[in-house]
Structures are given as structure tokens and as C-alpha cells.
Amino acid sequence: MTPVIQSLRIDLFSVFMLLGWVQGFILAYFFLSHFTKNRLPNLFLGILILGMSLVICDVWLGYTNLMFHLIWLNDATEPVNLLLAPMAYLYIKASVTNRTEKVTWLHFLPFVIYFLYMCVLVYPQSNAYKYHTYIDSFHPELPKMPYTYYGKRWMFFLKGHINDFTFVSLVAYNFATFIFLKRAFQAKGLPLFTREKNALSWYRDLYLQLLVLVLTFILVRTTFPHDLGDHIIAAFIVLIIYVTGFSVLRKSLFFQENNVRSPKKYEKSSLTEEIQSNTLKKLEDIMLTEKPFLDAGFSLPMLAKKLGISTHHLSQILNEELGQNFFDFLAGYRIREAQLLLKSEDSHFIKIEEIGQMVGYNSKSSFNTAFRRITGKTPSEYKKSALK
């Protein structure tokens, strides 16, 4: 019996997916090529986007019917399904904490086990077997072709439940990411879904995109038989890649005004990546535990002395890593502390001017100016909305 080959299908979804996985491969190369020991999050993000691109490419081949001509590739990317959620979790956690766990390799274990399983049982199978599994998923209306395969039926249990394993992985890691981000926001005195832009906003937004991906996965799997709705899941993954690419372009130095003839501000600095990394960790610990910013006379030299580094190096770290000068950095902590006081029922009787003094401001006007600049509201407006 001769295998039936469907004609090529080109429509909006196919073009959308094509552009998505091509851009994904470019982005993945960008992040992976900028991976170093001190920039480990780039590795996790690069693997995540590369995995997304491979999944989209696989679905694109099936959707456009090109898989008929490359049938040996059918289901080749299935192990990648178990890699996406762990990489998103590791990227967010490593970026926020600036460190990685000793057991990070355990997150790769499901992928490795399933990949080895596919190498032994599925990849070496005949093209007739792969043709059967392809039309069973994408073209159930086509007549089945006789085929043979090696192995017992029970050996295909894992492959038959790959969608279930993918769902469990997505849900488990999304929940773990939610718990981690919630604690990270609480450590900064902010609610998880605050409208205030801060260093954690990007990671929270990425988590929300992945959460919608889980919901899309559930909806498609319960609505469409076989794999007929995979192009919808792939289209949403393409959207995530587009958003990531847009964010990278927006932050690119190419679009920032720069005089190439003028020397960089910190070009001759002796600051090393190790000192920078250690200082950032120590900086956050000091600001959250000791709260030196509550002192109205707190200054850059005082903070540098606490950290055991020069004021020049501290200024460089604030500028390059946090994108702030010392006064903006200080204001951020003071205003967050003021927000906690304004929302607290225990301090609702305290005058706003006194709250400003409690968080380090000597004058009501400077407190109001800084508060409005960061939150978009005056302290009194914020207090009223918080009480409501």
C-alpha cells in the first residue's frame, strides 16, 4: 500500500509559525552566545527559547504537511516538552537570586530520561511506523498503512502519555515559580501584581505568559482530538518569542544615543564580576535587614563603607546593574517603606509628614515629590486608595 501524501498547506498560521521559529533560533543563538559562568541565566533562557523554537518547527512541519516528506523527523522533539517549564523556572530563579542551586542538573533529568527512551525505542523505528503515528495525530481521516514495529505494547506507555507528563511539568513548575516570585516581591515590600515597575516586573510578566500557555494547553487538549490543535499552542509560543525579541530590541544599545569618541564612564574601573556579584547580594541583605535608608543622613560613602568597597565601585554597580543613581536607589527603598506604613492599620493615625520623616525625608515636599514620581500618586491619595 502506497502512503498518501497531502498537498502543502500555506495559510496565516503556517506563516506566523514559520516567522516565529526562525526568530526563536536567532534569539536562542544570541542568549547562548552571551552565556558565561557569571551569566548563567542566559544559558537557561537560551535553552528555553531554543526548545520553544524546536517545538514550533515540529508543529509547523506537521501542520503544513511537510512532515510527509520528512517523516523520519516525526515526534523528534517530544523530549523537549519536558525541558520548557524547568528552564523558565531556572531562568527566573537564577536571575532574581543571582545564584544557582547545586542540584540544578536534577531539573534536566526528566528530559534526559525521556530522550534516552526515545533513542532506544522510537527514533530507530521504521518510517512506516512514524507515518502511522503522524497521520494518526494530524490526519486521522487518511487510511492506515500496514506497518511493523519492534518492542512490546507496554513499552510505549511513556510515549502514549507524553502530553500528560508535559501537563504535570507545566503545572508543577508554574506553581513553584509563583511561590518563588511571590516571596521575592514580598521581600521588597510589594504585592506580586503591583503596577509599579521594578526589577522583578519582567520575570512576573514572563511567568504570566507561561501561565496562559498552561491554560491554552489544557483548553486545546480538551477541545481537539489527537494533535489537531497543536498549531494554536504553537501560535501562543510564537507570541512569547515575539515579546521576548521585542524586549531585547528595546533594551539594545543600538537604539541608545552614544558618542563613540567619548570614553566610557567606567572604562578603566578595576571592578571585577566577582566583586560585583558579591556586592549585589550583600547590598540587598543590608537594605532589607538593617534598613539604613531610614536615616535621613544616609549617604553613598556610608553605604560603601558598610559594603566594604569604594564609592566609585558602588556607584558603578548601581549605574550598570540596577540602572539607577544612588538617590533614585535610596528613594525606591524609602517609598516602599512608606507604602507599607500608609497601608498599615497600626499606623493610620500617624500624619503623612511624620511618615515621611520616619522613612528618611526631612521635608514634606521632598517626600511628596519622590512618592509621586515613583507611584504616580501623592501619599494622601495612596493612603485613601489603600484604605478603600
pTM of the predicted structure, to 2 decimals? 0.65
Domain 12-252, what fold?
Answer: Rhopdopsin 7-helix transmembrane proteins (1.20.1070)
* pLDDT, average across residues 364-387: 86
Please say if the pLDDT value at position 226 is more than 70.
no
Report the distance separating Cα 275 and Cα 265, nearest Å. 18
Report the distance separating Cα 96 and Cα 181, nearest Å. 9
pLDDT in tens, 276-289: 888 888 888 898 88
Least confident of 252-256, 329-333, 381-385: 252-256
Report the distance separating Cα 189 and Cα 375, nearest Å. 14
Report the distance separating Cα 181 and Cα 200, nearest Å. 8
Report the distance separating Cα 105 and Cα 86, nearest Å. 10
Please say if the pLDDT value at position 104 is more than 70.
yes
Q: Which distant-in-sequence residues (6+ apart) come within 8 Å of 7 by Cβ?
A: 65
Using pLDDT thresholds of 50, 70 and 90, give the confidence band for residue 248.
confident
pLDDT of the residue at 87: 94
Using pLDDT thresholds of 50, 70 and 90, give the confidence band for residue 259.
very low
CATH class of 273-387: mainly alpha
Higher pLDDT, 98 or 142: 142
State the maximum Cα–Cα separation within the chain, in Å, rounded to a whole number: 88
DSSP tag of 34: T
* pLDDT, average across residues 291-295: 90
* pLDDT, average across residues 298-326: 86
Q: Where are the domains of the chain?
A: 12-252, 273-387
Q: Which distant-in-sequence residues (6+ apart) come within 8 Å of 276 by Cβ?
A: 317, 321
Burial of 320 (0-12, 13-18, 19+ CB in 10 A): middle
pLDDT of the residue at 268: 57
- Taking the CB of residue 379, how many other CB atoms lie within 10 A of it? 23
- Outline where the chain has alpha helix (H): 12-33, 40-64, 81-97, 109-121, 127-138, 157-160, 162-187, 201-223, 230-250, 273-289, 300-307, 311-321, 326-343, 352-358, 364-375, 379-387
Report the distance separating Cα 337 and Cα 75, nearest Å. 53
What is the gyration radius of the CA atoms in the chain, in angstroms? 26
Please say if the pLDDT value at position 258 is more than 50.
no
Which amino acid would we find at residue 86? P
Residue labelled with grid coordinates 511537510: 66
End-to-end CA distance of the chain: 73
* pLDDT, average across residues 235-253: 81
pLDDT of the residue at 84: 93
Q: What is the mean pLDDT of the chain?
A: 86
Report the distance separating Cα 239 and Cα 142, nearest Å. 32
Please say if the pLDDT value at position 252 is more than 70.
no
The answer to whether residues 367 and 326 touch, using CB atoms and an 8 Å cutoff, is no
* pLDDT, average across residues 284-312: 89
* pLDDT, average across residues 184-206: 82
Please say if the pLDDT value at position 155 is more than 50.
yes
Please say if the pLDDT value at position 111 is more than 70.
yes
Using pLDDT thresholds of 50, 70 and 90, give the confidence band for residue 168.
very high
Please say if the pLDDT value at position 291 is more than 70.
yes
Please say if the pLDDT value at position 262 is more than 50.
no
Residue labelled with grid coordinates 494622601: 380
